[in-house]
Structure 1
């Protein structure tokens, strides 16, 4: 596949997580419809997932393999964050950083007009700038979490963020500090990591967001990072029901027999694993609340597979091991709530399909996203103790609030946000194309870092 003469050529380089790769892929699809030629660079195992997603459709996206060095503890099937044992994450980050020279060679070979890079590789932005190619940062996280953490970085305080509802609990602060120190030790570009990444971006920052939910936080983040933020819209993947197996079809038939809005969908993403004790408390909450449920249960490689998940009576619940057609489930009339870890993509999908949130955040930006959902009136967070633990009664109360006490209010508010999001979705890509074309057409002038 070769770029046609006159096409604008963009190299896209996401971090190695599916939650990053697939928003990049959706953005790539949008750009190809606007006469861009897109190269998408990742590891072989991630590109295999991309190929499966594209499903042989004639979409002009050229896949470019990033060769990671061979490390004894990191075989090729772990060249992705999906299903990787947590203790190997630092090794994956090390291998990723060791690929910097190979990525610089990829840039030199392809000679793209623009690089769109992710937040974990400042070295990629500098490699592009050194070759006269403008780098643009694309954040797959929301504006609220980025503004919150940038505020902490700038003002050295968690508690002076200009919103009383967006706050971290003490155990979350401790976890965030520990995670940040761990990353810094292992990051070879410490001075540019996370917040310096904005300054490496040429004039603008692309962000997977929409103003209806995050407008005020988008404006605050823009003032902090001194870059114009260009929202891409929600970047929801469509057509993910294709290729479902008999088990999925049986599950969808089961769902079709439930009453409208009566079923809770439970999924904590592909990189969050619930302990046996937490599973038992969620199971207690389901038993007390009495709602129908579909529970997607995952465990890390070598785990016990979530043996304590209740298999449930057929009339009340379905437990799914592994993958489930999330979009098809969320848009089904029988689904009335989504119990989620509140990764940004999950919050976005919940609004997109008009489903209120039962929030159970675990780490990183998830607590901030959960509080944003509560602030927006589209969800409830499960109560936690000082140590971060929760019990079945708290789970049941949160479910009851979404399904019974506040049912109509939650569904109305999430429906209103959904309509606004759809309007922004139609307009966002045109603005992205306009800005990228403007930067490219300024020519290969030398990029100067602030």
Structure 2
């Protein structure tokens, strides 16, 4: 495949191809789609890529627009409870997610108009819009599904779909209690427009030639191969897709966080963040604070986020009485945005307490930082187990796998990562980081080659 790709790249003049990226409206989906776009453009001069999303999301992406990467607005209905500034999952309360999904599904006229105007050669679509490739197919446009979840968790869930149980999954490091699986089945179907009865696994079937997965074969090879067997499609790994932003880096270098981190010793600090869409209860915040008080020699940087409608909450009122005074200079608590990539790459950071969203665990591996895993929902418990299997993480114990993480268990897991097992965990995380970086370019080239083949083949039809 790579020899063929080099021949194409070495050709005299190649035809230009247009790709339309169409991610779900979540930050954790949009950023991988954006970074994949950038990587493809950097690898192949003849791709022009259009990224389609709502205005509120595009506003934050505007600085990334170029002649080769253009932003296209998706127009969505705005019911009273979901005005345009909430057309994103970022900082959106969970009770509004179904409303957002419904409004998103009602955006098909806008999406259809975009296809008619741009006439792309290919679309790359996300899990919540099976209607998008069906509209594209009616216009003779091929579509490729890009999953932003990792191969390990997807293969486990596909196994459950295929065999109606988690039993028999060939890799025992990953498992969920049958009671948990039963609860998943009893939640009722998610109403997704134009989805087949086997959503979300039938979506693999409608992907042209192969499926893209945000993964690195070097760390998930057995799961990639098993997923391919289950879905009967070739799986192509995109690589880690670590976001890059020079302007953001320059700004962050002068921030309070970087100034504070620069004063800390190498590997002495644990970074705590639960992503942009996971909001902690006051009780859970209190338990994390207890765990930090149990590790008096560990510095910590803690990013706390609140839903949009609660953005005026003051962090001093959320923390246990006397906590901020007790930790003094060894702790920094901030609200809102923080440049996670820059923080994880800072030499003073030696651990990462995370909800184990896919982007977060990928970034932790890429920067060689072991994880204190406090998974919350969906595939996150499986991501946590995968990090333990890799030898790059420690799970916080939680009775029955539900409820609040208790301070004593949080403290114990922090101590393992930052003190007791730090050398082994950090060495293993560093080795994984090295191999991921080594294979990164190769994976991007394979993706570019595969997409180019689809575009060329479709032109000849």
For Structure 1 versus Structure 2, the TM-score category normalised by the shorter chain is over 0.9
Partner of 1:323 in structure 2?
337
- After superposition, what is the alpha-carbon deviation per residue over 1:315-346, rounded to whole angstroms, capped at 9, x for unaligned? 21000110011111111111000000000000
Measure, in 2, the Cα distance between the counterparts of 1:93 and 1:366. 21
Give yes or no for the alignment of 1:166 onto 2:164: no
Cα deviation, 1:391-417, whole Å, max 9, x if unaligned, reads: 111001101111111111001111111
Alignment partner of 2:69 out of 61, 75, 85: 61
TM-superposed deviation, 1:388: 3.2
CA deviations on 1:150-197 (whole Å, 9 max, x unpaired) are 111110002321121101146643553455x2x524555252521011
**Cα deviation digits, residues 275-329 of structure 1 (max 9, x gap):** 1111111100000012110000001123345532343544210001100111111
Secondary structure at the residue paired with 1:214? helix
Find the partner of 1:260 among 266, 270, 273.
266
| Matching of residues 11-160 of structure 1 within 5 Å | 11-33=20-42, 34-35=44-45, 36-52=47-63, 54=64, 58=66, 60-160=68-168
Residue 428 (structure 2) pairs with residue 421 (structure 1) = no
Distance in structure 2 (CA, Å) of the matches to 1:245 and 1:175: 45
- Separation in 1, partners of 2:156, 2:426: 27
Matched, 1:191 2:197: yes
C-alpha distance in structure 2 between counterparts of 1:112 and 1:247, whole Å: 39
The answer to whether the 8 A contact 1:206-1:231 is kept is yes
Q: Which residue is 1:308 aligned to?
A: 318
Q: Give the counterpart of 1:391 among 369, 391, 406.
A: 406
Q: Provide the C-alpha distance between the structure 2 equivalents of 1:256 and 1:239, rounded to a whole number of angstroms.
A: 20
Query: Counterparts of 2:34 and 2:340 in 1: how far apart (Å)?
Result: 18
1:213 aligns to what?
Answer: 219
Q: 1:151 to 1:393 in 2, by over 3 A?
A: same
Cα distance in 1 for residues equivalent to 2:199 and 2:51: 22
Query: Matched residues in 2 for 1:240 and 1:215: separation?
Result: 32
Q: Distance in 1 between matches of 2:459 and 2:252?
A: 53
- Work out whether residues 131 and 193 of structure 2, in 8 Å CA contact, stay in contact via their aligned partners in 1: no
Alignment match, 2:286 = 280
What CA RMSD, in Å, does the superposition of the two structures yield over aligned residues?
2.0
Which residue of structure 2 lines up, in the alignment, with residue 7 of structure 1?
A: 16
Give the CA deviation at 1:115.
Answer: 0.7
Secondary structure of the corresponding residue to residue 412 of structure 1: helix
**Structure 1 residue corresponding to 2:423, chosen from 405, 408, 415:** 408
Q: CA deviation at 1:248?
A: 6.0
Contact 2:252 2:258 in 1 (8 A): no
- Looking at structure 1, the residues matched to 183 and 263 of structure 2 have their Cα atoms a distance apart, in angstroms, of 42
Q: Indicate if the aligned counterparts of 2:282 and 2:318 stay in contact, CA closer than 8 A.
A: yes
Q: Is residue 241–residue 328 contact of structure 1 (8 Å, CA) maintained in 2? A: no
Q: Deviations over 1:208-265 (max 9, x none)?
A: 1101211000000001111111111000012366276689622212211111111000
Indicate the SS of the match to 2:123.
strand
State the Cα deviation string for residues 117-145 of structure 1 (Å, max 9, x = none). 11110000111111111100011110011
Against the structure 1 CA distance between its residues 186 and 31, is the aligned structure 2 distance closer, same or farther, given a 3 Å change threshold?
Answer: closer
The TM-score, its normalising length taken from structure 2, stands at: 0.90
**DSSP 3-state at the match of 2:428:** helix
Q: How many angstroms apart in 1 are the aligned matches of 2:14 and 2:118? A: 14
- Mapping of residues 240-255 of structure 1, within 5 Å: 242=248, 249-255=255-261
Q: How many residues align?
A: 438
Kept in 2, the 8 Å contact 1:10–1:112? The answer is yes
Task: Give unmatched runs, 5+ long, in structure 1.
Answer: none
Instruction: Give the TM-score taking structure 1 as reference length.
Output: 0.93
Given that 2:301 and 2:331 are in contact with CA atoms closer than 8 Å, whether structure 1 keeps it comes out as yes
Q: Give the equivalent residue in structure 2 for 1:345.
A: 359
Q: 1:178 to 1:267 in 2, by over 3 A?
A: farther
